[in-house]
Amino acid sequence: MTEPTPTPSEAPMKTIAFVLYPGLTPLDIVGPLQVFAALGDLVPGYRTVVVGERIEPMGSDTPLSLVPSHTFEDMPEPYALIVPGGLVPTLAAMADERLLQHLRTTAARSRIVGSVCTGSLLLAAAGLLEGRQATSHWMYRDLLARFGATPVRRRWVEDGHIVTAAGVSAGIDLALHLVGRLAGSEVARMVQLFIEYDPEPPFGPIDWSAADSGEYAPFARKLLHDALGDAPALLAHLSS
């Protein structure tokens, strides 16, 4: 006998889980989290959580500390898993096998896997981007190739069920894109209006010439060496 189709009130809750780990960049997680929180306010059936290895305050790369709402064990099968990035702590986390295993296990049970900024390097280090197109912060985007991914210079990149965003504020764009995919463009436009996301930066658009010229390459290499001094094999792989 065929089971009846669940009514909207009975439909399974779709959980959007953001990963929290020490030292990340707050806007990487808070920007897209706010977008999905607004989706949950507008459309029944969506909720947003923050998962970490343990429920305790975790420092960021600002004076702000953040606390997960759940552990990975509490949320083994989220509908979507989003991994934020950062600088030295995120680069160091590429060698954190415990975190990488949490990502592998949870991602295998998620319908959508995403990242913001250098969070894509954690997905890549976990072996989740091999053979896929992906993006990251411009300073470390090319490192994706060392893990078998194809780096792409775009605001966000979708390859199958995996979606990666470029640096920091691009996470808001990625989240709005996913809201449009999940709930339709009308809802996504409503969320964009509610959070008043209409960028008009005071100094105009970014001039990419300095980044493209390699002017910041020595700085990027220094941060990578600072982060992976205790993981010489990985550092050598990424520096060769």
Both tokens of 73, joined, read 């064990």
Of 6-15, 74-83, 153-162, the poorest mean pLDDT is in 6-15
Active site residue 117: yes
What pLDDT was estimated at residue 211?
Answer: 86
**CB of 109 within 8 A of CB of 92?**
no
With the CA atoms of 122, 126, 127 and 131 taken in that order, what torsion angle do they form, in degrees rounded to the nearest 10?
-20
Does the residue 28 lie in any domain?
yes
What domain range includes position 192? Answer: 14-198
Give residue-wise pLDDT tens across range 30-60.
999 999 999 999 999 999 999 999 999 999 9
Helix H, strand E, coil C: the string for 63-99 is: CCEECCCEECCCCCCCCEEEECCCCHHHHHHCCCHHH
Does the residue 20 lie in any domain?
yes
Average pLDDT, the chain: 94
Give residue-wise pLDDT tens across range 125-156.
999 999 999 999 999 999 999 999 999 999 99
Does the residue 205 lie in any domain?
no
Annotated catalytic residue within 58, 117, 121, 178: 117
DSSP code for 140: T
Give residue-wise pLDDT tens across range 93-131.
999 999 999 999 999 999 999 999 999 999 999 999 999
CATH number of the domain enclosing 144: 3.40.50.880
Domain count along the chain: 1
Q: Which residue do the tokens 């970490």 mark?
A: 52
Does the residue 91 lie in any domain?
yes
Does the residue 24 lie in any domain?
yes
Mean pLDDT, residues 159-169 taken together:
97
What pLDDT was estimated at residue 213?
Answer: 83
Does the residue 227 lie in any domain?
no
Does the residue 192 lie in any domain?
yes
Does the residue 221 lie in any domain?
no
